[in-house]
Structure 1
């Protein structure tokens, strides 16, 4: 009798896995073309995301291939880094106070989100979620670092399915609501900042790929979050800020990167997702919409002092994922460097502070039933 390990790595298993990946890519490509024809915002990401999510929840044979997702994150990281010319770096540095405010805002918003989820679902009543603990609502609520929050929560005894579903649904809703809302309101093309390189130079692109690839590999070795995105971003940013412009990123490569990132988000919505504590998901959806509204008010207030359009600041302060909001800013031409800087610093703060704050608030052996 063959062992499960051998059967998993058999030629037949590889063929089935490859077929699922190819099917998903074709599905995503068709959805992207449809969204292009319909002139939806971010067609190369939203189309694949929605199509993959729907088919995945129906139990379809979808799959995201990790190397393709990594290449997509690398591409977007490179493209964003090219915006950080010396002039732009000086502009962003002058907004340090807004960056700090955004970090404080995100941490407070996450704490309020978690407290609300616990209040609604812990006690007896029609909204009660069986077995819900304070640690689950705590790690389901931070704004950013979804995968890391799931792992941290599981380490402290949280219910990982509820934590992961809350983050996945929040990112999905933000990725859909804000771009469609901005398109409806005509909020695009407000950023005069252009990338440091606008011409594709193939030799320069090869060198850029090598250097940023090494940056991504270093981040992987250091076990950093989003290593291929952050590694490529840091290297491309450093080169551009130093006045070195090697090459622009081809548009078709940027579109392909959005497609595979959309797939990686869509496959999170498994058949069990829709049946997982509907009351929990409904509360997360309501809270996400409320957070978007609150972030819009916060962005408007900061914009009065920062001399930036509130739409750019909303992308930077929104409860969405770093890659998704940066792509939105890039496609809609809304303050790409500002949005990127806000999200990168917020991500770092969440990763550094959320777990120590949990220990400070609840102790190392918190009563999970509280």
Structure 2
């Protein structure tokens, strides 16, 4: 059984790497992530083959991507996001409120329970939504499917739109930026230590495998510690691993189970993305920030995906990742408390 899993995992990485290479060849956005996702979906759907992903490898890849994002921090990053916090909180809370309201309204004219519909409409926080769904005895399968639909919409619409409409400079991505072996070897110990801390605090801190290495590297860079640069192929491998994990998680069969509901929740996801683009533009006019950085900070996508997209279109990945972290904290810490109160009130 173990050998069968290893065989599937190796095949999944080969298929993912081929897909990523093709996306690089055709200059597609987020090539190593989206290429791996697309190729695995085709592999599973057309050839009816099983794929596999490894949770430990995924966690390591998240830590590497956290290191990559942390490397984009400068001395001004933490000072820069200060003036953005108040307006950003307003816009991101507005997006979350609209998504919950959409889920509530849809549940009124579809045979889907209100709690299931609202939990499936939250912009992000899949693991928190699933845990809350289980505790409330909602339809966890539908919650997972609705989040998968949102994930597919976000993965393929936002990077494509950002690349073609909000491009603001030279592409700076893992596959194109040359390695510079600057820094001291002893700083590798900080990276290993940050990963071990993330392992210990994974269940207490949301997205710990990304957050802790990202802020460890960012803070060390800001205070002037000469961080050792990691080889670029590690970051490419990390992006392929993320693509393999996502491609293995998404199943066309699961999407088909939701039937006609799929298109409705896909439409809600697209509407949320369009609204985030509009709010991002307004946000960029209110504060001194580029349009791409503003839109990707508010967009209802994953922290890693949006920060990598910012990096590829000339935005500021450090600001995007910092602001997306604020949204993530709201989604996983505040939204579940509100929903529990709201559901209890509706039951009464």
Q: Does the C-alpha gap of structure 1 residues 172 and 296 become closer, same or farther in structure 2, counting only changes over 3 Å?
A: same
Report the TM-score, using the length of structure 2 for normalisation.
0.91
**What does 1:260-271 align with in structure 2 at a 5 Å threshold?**
260-270=241-251
Distance 1:215 1:364, change over 3 A: farther
Q: How do 1:149-168 and structure 2 match up within 5 A?
A: 149-168=129-148
Q: Answer yes or no: is 1:185 the counterpart of 2:199.
A: no
| Paired position in structure 2 for 1:141 | 121
Match of 2:106 in 1: 117
Q: Structure 2 unaligned runs (5+)?
A: none
Q: Indicate how the Cα distance of structure 1 residues 291 and 271 shifts in structure 2: closer, same or farther if over 3 A, else same.
A: closer
Residue 238 of structure 1 deviates from its aligned partner by 2.4
Match of 1:6 in 2: none
Q: Which residue of 2 aligns with 1:228?
A: 209
Give the 3-state SS of the residue equivalent to 2:249 in structure 1. Answer: coil
Match of 2:37 in 1: 49
Indicate yes or no: 2:15 matched with 1:16: no
CA distance in 1, matches of 2:286, 2:186: 39
Which whole-Å CA distance do the structure 2 matches of 1:200 and 1:168 have between them?
A: 40
Match of 1:322 in 2: 303
1:296 partnered with 2:277 = yes
Matched, 1:247 2:228: yes
Aligned position for 1:170: 150
Q: In 1, Cα distance between the equivalents of 2:23 and 2:335?
A: 38
1:82-140 superposed Cα distances (whole Å, 9 cap, x missing partner): 22222121111222223322432232132123123313423xxxxxxxxx211101211
Deviates further, 79-88 or 311-320: 79-88
Select the structure of larger CA radius of gyration. Answer: 1
Equivalent of 1:238 in 194, 216, 219: 219
Q: Distance in 1 between matches of 2:171 and 2:15?
A: 33
Contact in 2 for aligned 1:57/1:274 (Cα 8 Å) = no
SS in 2 for 1:86: coil
Deviation per residue, 1:200-252 (Å, 9 max, x gap): 547155224223223312322x5433221122123222222322231234321
Give the 3 Å change call, closer, same or farther, for CA 250–268 of structure 1 in structure 2: same
Q: 1:313 aligns with which of 287, 294, 308?
A: 294
Cα distance in 2, alignment partners of residues 352 and 111 from structure 1: 15
Contact preservation (8 Å) 2:206, 2:329: no
1:10 alignment counterpart: none
Distance between the aligned counterparts of 1:241 and 1:105, measured in 2? 32
Q: Deviations over 1:129-186 (max 9, x none)?
A: xxx2111012111111112211211210111111111112212211111221222236
The aligned length equals 342
Summarize deviations over 1:2-38 as a string: whole Å, max 9, x none. xxxxxxxxxxx00101011001000001111111111
- The question of 1:34 aligning with 2:16 is answered no
Please give the secondary structure, in 1, of the residue aligned with 2:254: coil
Question: Where does structure 1 lack aligned partners over 5 or more consecutive residues?
Answer: 1-12, 123-131
State the match for 1:213 in structure 2: 195
What displacement does 1:281 show?
1.1
Match of 1:93 in 2: 82
Indicate the SS of the match to 1:275: helix
